Amino acid sequence: MEFQRTLKKRVKIQGIGLHCGKRVVMTVRPAGVDTGIRFVRTDISGRPEIKATLHNVIKCAHATTIGTNAFHISTVEHLMATFSGLGIDNAVVEIDGPEVPAMDGSSAIFMYLFKEAGLKIQGRPRRFIEITEEISICENDKKVTFKPHSTLHIDFSIDFPHPVIKAQRFSGRMDRKTFEKRIAKARTFGFLREVEMLHENGLALGASLENAVVIGDNRVLNQDGLRFSDEFVRHKVLDILGDLYLLGAPIRAKVIAEKSGHDLHVKAMKKLMETRSAWRYSNPETEHGHVAKWLREPAAAGAGVVI
């Protein structure tokens, strides 16, 4: 039996938002059992709060954004991947801006700081979502499939018509060791030729060689090159790991992703949750119907957080 975890002490992080280009201060605090991952916008009157769950995803173009009609927090996937990779179930993220700071474009700095703070085992079992039957979703040549499995195993393949990337595939069990050694350091990437278009759409305003792998016509422009020969697909694994944690609980499944991105990840997870015969909650103390209700619970727009 695995028990829930939180941080032993708070962690303060400062950085630039990848898309908004604004400096953001973020404090991640320990939280009690069954809190889940919650975000609090400290720069807005009333300190509105929102759970990091699938129900609260409002946008997933170029990044995953959670929010309400009143406020949002974007690019949550790298931070969520860190919570998932380190097995952190409960935390409160206080943030004074609209976007999680990009740091170096990966989860490496979040991982380092959380490990320095230490992890605290809590006195309640973890709740897992277990896949009971295969389910998939396709859009053109993109596909996401969930299959029954005893652990979380991700098999991700990409194929870009670019000489630097081409076809890449990563397949492996997503335990803490794999995350720390093979996934966490993989950075987000983008093409230099798309920068002007992204800027016109209010995106990548904070992107630089310090927080992304930038690809020119035939080479990587970062002076130090790549961290892994297949860093691009490893970052896609990082992205889907963060998106999957928006299910509100760790998942046990073989997840096969082909050329997919945030939008298809969210659609696949919604289809999974709507197909009640395809999954179950592992904790026998919690009924299946209660879980579905918990995942659908809307944000408490003006609620305070008690730790």
Task: State the Cα–Cα distance between residues 57 and 74, nearest whole angstrom.
Answer: 9
Taking every pair of Cα atoms in the chain, the longest distance, rounded to a whole number of angstroms, is 55
User: In 3D, which of 289, 239, 280 has the Cα closest to residue 80?
Assistant: 239
User: In 3D, which of 8, 7, 31 has the Cα closest to residue 82?
Assistant: 7
| Dihedral over alpha carbons 245, 250, 252, 256 (to 10 degrees) | 10
How many CB atoms are closer than 10 A to CB 236? 25
Q: Is 262 a catalytic residue?
A: yes
DSSP state letter for 46: T
Number of H helices, E strands in the chain: 7, 19
Task: State the Cα–Cα distance between residues 25 and 97, nearest whole angstrom.
Answer: 7
Task: State the Cα–Cα distance between residues 76 and 74, nearest whole angstrom.
Answer: 6
Q: Which residue has the tokens 């935390």?
A: 91
User: In 3D, which of 143, 138, 137, 78 has the Cα closest to residue 111?
Assistant: 78
Task: State the Cα–Cα distance between residues 243 and 218, nearest whole angstrom.
Answer: 30
Q: Which two tokens stand for residue 266?
A: 């969210």
Which position among 72, 153, 262, 265 bears the catalytic label? 262
Catalytic site residues?
262
